[in-house]
Amino acid sequence: MIKAGIIGVTGYAGQELFSLLLNHPEVEVSFVTSRSYGGKPLRQVYGNYFNITSVNCKDNYLDFNNLDLDVLFIALPHGLASEIITQEFIRKFKIIDLGADYRFKDNKVYEDWYNTEHKNTSLLKYAVYGLCELNRELIKNSSLVANPGCYTTCSILSLAPLVKEGVINNRSIIIDAKSGVSGAGRGVNLNTHYAECNESVKAYKIASHRHTPEIEEQLSYLAKENFNIVFTPHLVPMNRGILVTAYAELNKELDYDEVKSIYEKYYKYEHFIRLLPKEVFPNTKWVKGSNYIDINFKIDKRTNRIIVIGAIDNLVKGAAGQAVQNMNILFNLKETTGLKRIPLFP
């Protein structure tokens, strides 16, 4: 059995991760921690675990040197993982960080967009960006995996084949994205109070969202050139889900079958990527609770643009599910192990 620990179990992503690991046939959860609920049973924090688990939340500040672990998941706000992780840790066990601290190779990009100093830049060279479908081979040999963000997972996977094949003008990319409220985390925030966000849709962090450089960096690796995108996120009054609508100019005229063949070239055998039939477009309700991403596109011949739509559950494929998928790759397990949830409906 794989011995796993979770730091930050009482955030939305942390508890989703615990739920997945609790039902994973190859994993034993050795311990979980919480900054806010140290010493309390998890079932008191989340009533869905009543009579299911008796695990208690430990305080975050453990003596990690004495832990008998195979993999450590870190589900903390940005800036904290780089304080915790040391080179000695990554020699002892695998680390999967659900935060942003190790997603960028250039620490200046991280510090500029997150307005904080990176506490351990020496480990950036060891980190692998954990977008499983694109970096599988790199992940296999890694000890430090940077789990991607939710907007980024949906945006990058939706556009990657087009960027890789060079069929779009990369500098024309516009991403309009919408997220459920759980994407903002469990902390108290006026903008996510019921009366503030119910029956309303709003754009936020316009031209300044922290996932922008993450999307740009990863797409630039595929394109082998640097470029900027326009990314605008929106908050919608639902618990879960990311819907990305991306627009780009085509470099040449293409028909539906030609573009579909490009997507199939990269994704035909990817279990968690569902390429939908023609004229059937992604909807967050059909991926809710699952590790799937649904993708489809439409060519607008009038403007010579392609419109790509992707949908994921932000807490699963956008966070905890992808973290488990990364763990499965690290330990040479079938990637679907522990991730066979059928999307929840209604």
Which amino acids are annotated catalytic?
A: 150
Distances (CA, A) of 150 to 27, 157, 192: 24, 11, 18
Give me the count of residues in the chain.
Answer: 346
Two structure tokens written together for 93:
């066990």
Cβ burial, residue 110 (10 Å; 0-12/13-18/19+) = buried
One-letter amino acid at 67 equals L
Quick one: DSSP state of residue 190?
G
- Is the bond preceding 346 in cis, omega lying within 30 degrees of 0? yes
Euclidean distance between CA atoms 270 and 45, whole angstroms: 36
Two structure tokens written together for 172:
């024309």
Euclidean distance between CA atoms 38 and 40, whole angstroms: 6
Contact 17, 28 (CB under 8 A): no
One-letter amino acid at 78 equals H
Distances (CA, A) of 158 to 59, 147, 257, 334, 345: 39, 17, 17, 23, 23
